[in-house]
Amino acid sequence: MTTYGSFPGTRPRRLRSNPVMRRMVAETRLHPADLILPAFVREGVSEPVPIAAMPGVVQHTRDSLKKAAAEAVAAGISGIMLFGVPEESKKDAFGTPGTDPDGILQVALRDVRAEVGDDLLVMSDLCLDETTDHGHCGVLDAQGRVDNDATLERYAEMAQVQADAGAHVVGPSGMMDGQIGVIRDALDQIGREDVAVLAYTAKYASAFYGPFREAVGSSLQGDRKTYQQDPANARESLRELALDLEEGADMVMVKPAGPYLDILARVADAVDVPVAAYQISGEYSMIEAAAEKGWIDRDRAILESLTGIKRAGARNILTYWATEVAQKLREQ
């Protein structure tokens, strides 16, 4: 046989010859502890409400949310990120349910902490979009623009009520300038230095959020391009990263995950804090829809997508498949 370079002596296929060999030499491994479950809880419903745009995902009742949290503990995942969906009549221009101790998110935080204690990290979305009648992530000025500094005052109050309700981790997702420092100060002022801040450091103005709008009953008018990042930009993420770390972020996140693996890799290479990525609703729904039509193998596609996110540098992944995937990983 003619020799070309190191072939035939060198044959990489030897390391792909059977399942045990492939498992032994795998460079990236998913583990249940890598995963965090985003979950929605809706005020005023007696049964879980299916989300049409996200097959298999529901808006929970308080009771079904507690059950989901217990299942997450049993599956071995690390956390649950809670999003509250208040009754439409309670929304207002300032997102009052977000700072009401009896608002649905704060009630759900207390419920889940009572159910799981410290066996699961209970995380809270810290943003106003679910609670405002205009659907933006902050309060508006007289011209209808999101007022960055006025919004920070609301975020500070939200951080305190969420910590009082039992959040181990708060996740500021609004992309306001200065939000991490303001939230860290607000938590420290009430003696909650123990509450961690997961910064949504690189959150892009993405088309892939579409199904999420239904999940949280969004009232959004317009778009969020003045505060979420432009999908065309990469270096901007590193600037946001430096600012978040300077302001005291304990962990950082890239969102969405799949379309921004290059950003995720750059962020992961640049820091020594844990890096998370959020596999968002559109990423989830595309796989579910294609699988429903028989175009792809659902289970393989799910695992491949998550492996790619971890390979790019994510320590933790927020995914709507968290509990399901963790259960399967534990069975292997």
The per-residue pLDDT for 260 is 97
pTM, full prediction: 0.95
CA dihedral 66, 112, 209, 239 (to 10 degrees): -160
- List C-alpha distances in Å: 150 to 92, 146, 155, 275: 15, 9, 9, 29
The per-residue pLDDT for 163 is 98
- List C-alpha distances in Å: 124 to 169, 172, 230: 7, 9, 25
Contact call for residues 133 and 219 (beta carbons, < 8 A): yes
Which residues sit opposite 275 in a β-bridge?
A: 252
**Whole-angstrom distance, CA of residue 174 vs CA of residue 205:** 11
Choose the catalytic residue: 225, 255, 293, 310.
Answer: 255
Choose the catalytic residue: 66, 67, 90, 203.
Answer: 203
* Token pair for 327: 């259960």
- Give the H or E element holding residue 200: strand 196-203
| DSSP-H helix ranges across 36-147 | 62-75, 104-116
Determine whether 293 is an active site residue. no
The per-residue pLDDT for 276 is 98
**Whole-angstrom distance, CA of residue 113 vs CA of residue 142:** 39
The per-residue pLDDT for 69 is 98
**Whole-angstrom distance, CA of residue 128 vs CA of residue 64:** 24
Taking only the tens of pLDDT, the chain with its 332 residues reads 556 668 888 889 999 999 999 999 999 999 999 999 999 999 999 999 999 999 999 999 999 999 999 999 999 999 999 999 999 889 999 999 999 999 999 999 999 999 999 999 999 999 998 899 887 888 999 998 999 999 999 999 999 999 999 999 999 999 999 999 999 999 999 999 999 999 999 999 998 888 877 777 776 676 788 888 999 999 999 999 999 999 999 999 999 999 999 999 999 999 999 999 999 999 999 999 999 999 999 999 999 999 999 999 999 999 999 999 999 999 87
Which residues sit opposite 122 in a β-bridge?
A: 80
**Whole-angstrom distance, CA of residue 29 vs CA of residue 273:** 20
- What's the CA angle centered on 237, arms 235 and 241, to 5 degrees? 120
Phi, psi (deg, nearest 5) at residue 255: -150, 130
DSSP 3-state percent helix, strand, coil across the chain (nearest 5): 45, 15, 40
Contact call for residues 44 and 87 (beta carbons, < 8 A): yes
Contact call for residues 283 and 208 (beta carbons, < 8 A): yes
**Whole-angstrom distance, CA of residue 106 vs CA of residue 24:** 45
